[in-house]
Amino acid sequence: MSQQDEPSAELRALALFAEAIANPATRRDFAGRSGELLDSVLGDDVGEDAKEAFRALFGDLTDEEVRLLARLQHTMVGLSEVHPDLVQTFNPTVSKF
Amino acid sequence: MQRTQERRSSASDRLRWKIHLVIPALVSAGNRLIAHPQVRELYPEYMFTSHCVIRASVPLMEAGRAEAEARAKTDAVSAALAPYLAEHITEELHHDDWLLDDLEVVGRTRSEILARPPSPTAAALVGAQYYWIFHYHPVALLGHIAALEGHPPSPEMVDDLIAGTGYRRDAFRTMLAHAELDPGHRDELYEVVDSLPLTREHSAVMGLSAIHTVHMYARAIEEILDEYEDAA
Q: Look at B186 and B117; give whichever has higher pLDDT.
A: B117
Could you give the CA distance from residue B149 to residue B189 in angstroms, rounded to a whole number?
9
Average pLDDT over residues B202-224: 96
pLDDT given at position A87: 40
Of B22, B26, B34, the CB nearest to A95: B26
Using the predicted structure, report yes or no on whether residue A5 has a pLDDT greater than 70.
no
Q: What is the pTM of this model?
A: 0.88
Using the predicted structure, report yes or no on whether residue B147 has a pLDDT greater than 90.
yes
Q: Residue A70 CB: number of other CB atoms within 10 A?
A: 18
Average pLDDT over residues B140-154: 93
Average pLDDT over residues B45-72: 97
Kindly determine whether residue A97 and residue B175, on different chains, have CB atoms separated by under 8 Å: no
Helix (H, G, I), strand (E, B) or coil at B169: helix
pLDDT given at position A6: 64
Q: Look at B215 and B6; give whichever has higher pLDDT.
A: B215
Helix (H, G, I), strand (E, B) or coil at A37: helix
Q: Enter the DSSP assignment of A93.
A: -
Could you give the CA distance from residue A43 to residue A31 in angstroms, rounded to a whole number?
19
Segment B34-51, tens digit of pLDDT: 999 999 999 999 999 999
Give the torsion sign (CA, B170, B175, B179, B185). positive
Segment B13-36, tens digit of pLDDT: 999 989 988 888 899 899 999 999
pLDDT given at position A85: 45
Segment B175-192, tens digit of pLDDT: 988 888 878 888 899 999
Residues 6+ apart with CB under 8 A from A53: A10, B9
User: How does residue A74 score in pLDDT terms, banded at 50, 70 and 90?
Assistant: low
pLDDT given at position B115: 97
Kindly determine whether residue B27 and residue A91, on different chains, have CB atoms separated by under 8 Å: yes
Give the E-state strand segments of B139-189 in sequence order. none
Q: Which of A92-96, B4-8, B156-160 has the lowest mean pLDDT?
A: B4-8
User: How does residue B5 score in pLDDT terms, banded at 50, 70 and 90?
Assistant: very low
Which residues in A lie closer than 8 A to residue B7 (C-beta atoms)?
none
Kindly determine whether residue A81 and residue B208, on different chains, have CB atoms separated by under 8 Å: no
Could you give the CA distance from residue B193 to residue A77 in angstroms, rounded to a whole number?
27
Q: What Cα–Cα distance (Å) separates residue B109 from each residue in B88, B99, B101, B166?
A: 28, 11, 9, 19
Q: Which residue of chain A is at minimal alpha-carbon distance from B7?
A: A56
Which residues in B lie closer than 8 A to residue A93 (C-beta atoms)?
23, 26-27, 30, 151-153, 217
Could you give the CA distance from residue B77 to residue B71 in angstroms, rounded to a whole number?
9
Q: Express as a percent the part of chain B with pLDDT over 70.
A: 95
The answer to whether residues B14 and B145 touch, using CB atoms and an 8 Å cutoff, is: no
- Enter the ipTM: 0.78
Q: Residue B227 CB: number of other CB atoms within 10 A?
A: 12
Helix (H, G, I), strand (E, B) or coil at B4: strand
**CB < 8 Å from A in window 183-212 of B:** 183, 185, 200-201, 203-204, 207-208, 211-212
B85 class by beta-carbon count within 10 Å (0-12 exposed, 13-18 middle, 19+ buried): buried
Q: Look at A35 and B176; give whichever has higher pLDDT.
A: B176
Pick the closest to residue A20 from A3, A6, A36 (CA basis): A36
B97 class by beta-carbon count within 10 Å (0-12 exposed, 13-18 middle, 19+ buried): middle
